[in-house]
Amino acid sequence: MYLKAVILAGGFATRLRPLSCSRPKALFPIVNKPLLQWIFEGLAANEITEVILAVNALTQFHIKQQKPPKCGLKIKYAIDPPKTPLGTAGAIKITEKIAKYEEPFIVLNGDIFTEVNYKQLMDTHVKTGALATIALHKVEDPSRYGVAELEKGNRIKNFIEKPTKEQAPTNLINAGIYVLDPKIFNYIPIDRQCSIEREIFPALAKEHKLFGHINEGLWMDIGTPIEYLRTNKIILDKLKEKNNLKTPKNLEIKKPVAIDKKVTIGEKTIIGPYTVLGKNVTIGDRVQIHNSIIFPDTKIGDNTKINGAIIGENAIIGKNVQINNGCIIADQAKIKDNINLTNEFAVCPAKEVSETILKRNVIC
């Protein structure tokens, strides 16, 4: 079978700012590997051969620059028009001419980390004769998602995007992964914004053409900094140990940690648990880092303590600095010596912080 997949990745990732100011969500590293690469690997392992990336021009630029491995997939791009994004259905619509679908195809949100079995999803789709089949996942609070009311025989009776907690008919949510029949294009208008979740799925449910497939496996949305840290934590636990460090000297590693290539770490430093160090990171003496993610090429000075934070690429963190509790330091930012940052403090790309700030704030 010749299977095609569309990855929707044209959103603006506002909840991951300021880290998403300089990279799209699909390129955020999950344990030192871009999310897009994890997605490519999952698709390639499930016999998908061609991927259409539905993105905006800036995201295409970043992907082409970073060049995540294609995992044997043929990659094409469907670019949103520059003025207004098309919405999820609109973005799928423009892939029609590019992919020339002859069979059902897979669509997935590019901000999800999952181990869905695409083949099983496709089987349900074929068996039920659906026009669209949604992978469903059980969560505690469905109000931030699309919610499905499932009937016997896998039919979705009702689909509501982001209902209130009280309105939500079930806790089965849209996992952001679908199989669509090419007939779906008859339902999507041309040349205007259209959301598959708000317009198309409710219409298909009314016509008894929408089906669901419950996915029991791992599923995570990396939409917010807390979810992003959590996803890395879960993957670290799964991978147990991933450590490319060559010459640890007088150094304490508390597993699980992931340390990429060419990382240098000073003496009496403690790394972990739940810490990810990107390629080329340089860490001084007597540093403590735990429950944090440090992107590539960043430098961290002596005696600094980092806990529960995300530090972007090529940042410079001085000596005796403390960065705690949900802080986000974007790419190329500079934190001077003896600074104390806490309480979800955020620093925009290339900004410098030269005084201690303890309340929630954004330096832009």
Please report, as ranges, the residues that interact with ligand GDD according to CB under 6 A.
8-11, 54-55, 80, 85-88, 91, 109-112, 145-146, 161, 173-174, 176, 197, 221, 223
Residue matched to tokens 């029991």 = 216
- Rounded CA-CA distance 156/292 in Å is 40
At closest approach, how far in Å is the CB of 80 from ligand GDD? 5
CA-based Rg of the chain, rounded to a whole angstrom? 22
For ligand GDD, the closer CB: 176 or 318: 176
The one among 6, 31, 111, 331 contacting Mg ion by CB under 5 A:
111
Q: Which does 9 bind (CB under 5 to 8 A by kind): ligand GDD, Mg ion, none?
A: ligand GDD
Residue nearest to Mg ion according to CB distances in the complex: 111
On the CB side of 195, CA atoms within 13 Å amount to: 11
At closest approach, how far in Å is the CB of 250 from ligand GDD? 44
Which entry of 33, 138, 157, 162 is annotated as an active-site residue? Answer: 162
For ligand GDD, the closer CB: 104 or 176: 176
Q: Which amino acid is at 44?
A: A
Tell me, what DSSP letter sits at residue 155? B
At closest approach, how far in Å is the CB of 187 from ligand GDD? 16
CA dihedral over 176, 180, 186, 191, signed as positive or negative: positive
4 is catalytic: no
At closest approach, how far in Å is the CB of 52 from Mg ion? 19
For ligand GDD, the closer CB: 114 or 322: 114
Distances in Å between the alpha carbon of 149 and those of 142, 181, 199, 287?
A: 12, 21, 16, 51
- Rounded CA-CA distance 92/80 in Å is 10
* Distance in angstroms between the alpha carbons of the first and the last residue of the chain: 50
Tell me, what DSSP letter sits at residue 18? T
- Rounded CA-CA distance 329/129 in Å is 49
**Site for Mg ion (CB under 5 A): how many residues?**
2
For Mg ion, the closer CB: 224 or 244: 224
The one among 223, 225, 256, 312 contacting Mg ion by CB under 5 A:
223
By CB under 5 A, name the binding residues for Mg ion. Answer: 111, 223
Which residues have a catalytic role annotated?
162
